[in-house]
Structure formats: structure tokens, C-alpha cells
Amino acid sequence: MLCTVEQVKARLSLASDDDEHDDMIEQIVLGVSEALCGPAGAGRPLEEAQVTQVFDVPTPVRVLLVERFPIVAVDEVREGWLGGFDDEADLMEGEDFVVAADAGRLIRVGGHWLLGDGTVRAKYRGGYVPPDVSREQAFGPAEGQVLMPQDIVEAAIQQSVHWFQRRSQPGVTGEGVAGANLTFYAATELLPGVKEILGRYRRIVC
């Protein structure tokens, strides 16, 4: 989640031990987190995760764009025909390819990536550490890890508060979750300021 239930409750001036709306707020935060990563927001996943990604290389290119960044660590990169990666040796970082972590790029050294459909496989960890993880584990970032930017957290809090406060107004959609009658705005209804913040984190291809 891009923000925590506790952060939203604090913004709503709800006591920390007042758990009446906790389930509803959690579902709203989950919905907001999905919306902020969707087409109306950043247009990409933001939370840190372990990823295995296979790339098509239809034309000669030196740069591959990963789906989840910043890149925290690259565990393996292999090239192979027809998905035969297990028979191939690992490419060496710094020798066969280099990593542009913040931009989410894998750059081939001395040529282009192997041409064809599904010819490159990368196993890596990428994205931002979400605030619930950093809080619960008394988190100190490890090498390469990046905490969720504060403006994204703030955008998630603002949007969650907005949906919560308007949960029973006309024009919202209703859905039963975990036995509760929850209502929230459609995912495309992001606040203008929230859209502006998430727009900063859309991938720029150049």
C-alpha cells in the first residue's frame, strides 16, 4: 500500500485505538494504491517487489526498460532462443550490461540485446519500499533500496481521505468487501493534485 491505515486515520482525526472504520479504510487505501499505479496515475507499479521479466527484442536495441523501478538489485540476466534460458550462462553486470537504476534501464555493453521474441530474461528487485513495510520492520534502507517518496505517500493519503469522506454520497459505486458495505469513487476519479504528483513518476522514454 502506498500509505498506511494509520496515516489516513490521523488525517481524518480518528483516534489510533478507534478501529470502527479500519477495515473500510484499508480497502480504500488498497483501491487508491491500485488507482495511483494505474493509467490515470503513474502508469506503472510503484511498490518494491521481486520480478522475473522476459523481453521481446524485435529490433536492435542496447537499452531494455524494466517494468518496476528504481532497480534495487539485479540477480540474473540471460539471453536465449525460444525461452531456453536455463541452458545459458548469466551475463555479467558491468561487463556484459550496466544498470541505470533510477531510470529502470538495462544497457547492453558492446552491442545490442539478442534479437527475437522472448530472448532476454531478467530477475531483479525493483520499486519503492512502501511505508507499511518500513514502519512494521523499523526499516532502515539496505543498499540500493529507496523509500516510497513522501509526495506519493501524501497523494495516497489525500485520495484515501477524499474517498472516505465521500463514501456515501451520490455518484459513487458500492461494493461489499469482507461483509462491509463499502463505497468508493471509480478508479479514474483522482484529485487533480494527486494526478499532478503521480505524473512526475510516469516513465519518460527518450
Residue 180, pLDDT > 60, answer no
DSSP state of 83: G
Q: Rounded to a whole number, what is the distance in angstroms from the first to the last CA of the chain?
A: 30
Q: Specify the 3-state DSSP secondary structure of 165.
A: helix
Residue 172, pLDDT > 70, answer no
Global pTM value: 0.85
Q: What are phi and psi of 195, to 5 degrees?
A: -60, -40
Q: Which amino acid makes up residue 171?
A: G
Rg over alpha carbons for the chain, rounded to the nearest Å, is 20
The domain limits of the chain are: 5-45+129-199, 49-126
Interaxial angle between packed helices 150-165 and 192-199, expressed in degrees from 0 to 180 and rounded to the nearest 10: 160
pLDDT tens digit string along 25-63? 999 999 999 999 999 999 999 999 999 999 999 999 999
Model confidence at 154, pLDDT cuts 50, 70, 90, reads very high
Query: What gap in Å lies between CA 51 and CA 74, rounded to an integer?
Result: 10
What's the pLDDT at 179? 38
Asked, as a colleague might, if the bond just before 70 is cis with ω within 30 of 0, I would say yes
What's the Cα-to-Cα distance from 81 to each of 58, 78, 87, rounded to whole Å?
Answer: 13, 10, 10
Closest alpha carbon to 117 in 54, 199, 44, 52 = 54
Query: What gap in Å lies between CA 134 and CA 172, rounded to an integer?
Result: 33
Residue 103, pLDDT > 70, answer yes
Closest alpha carbon to 7 in 114, 129, 155 = 155
Which residues 6+ apart lie within 8 Å of 185 measured at CB? Answer: 162, 163, 166, 171, 172, 173
Instruction: Let me know: does 192 contact 162? Beta carbons within 8 Å.
Output: no
Query: What gap in Å lies between CA 42 and CA 197, rounded to an integer?
Result: 9
Query: What gap in Å lies between CA 189 and CA 85, rounded to an integer?
Result: 43
Of residues 157 and 145, the one with the higher pLDDT is 157
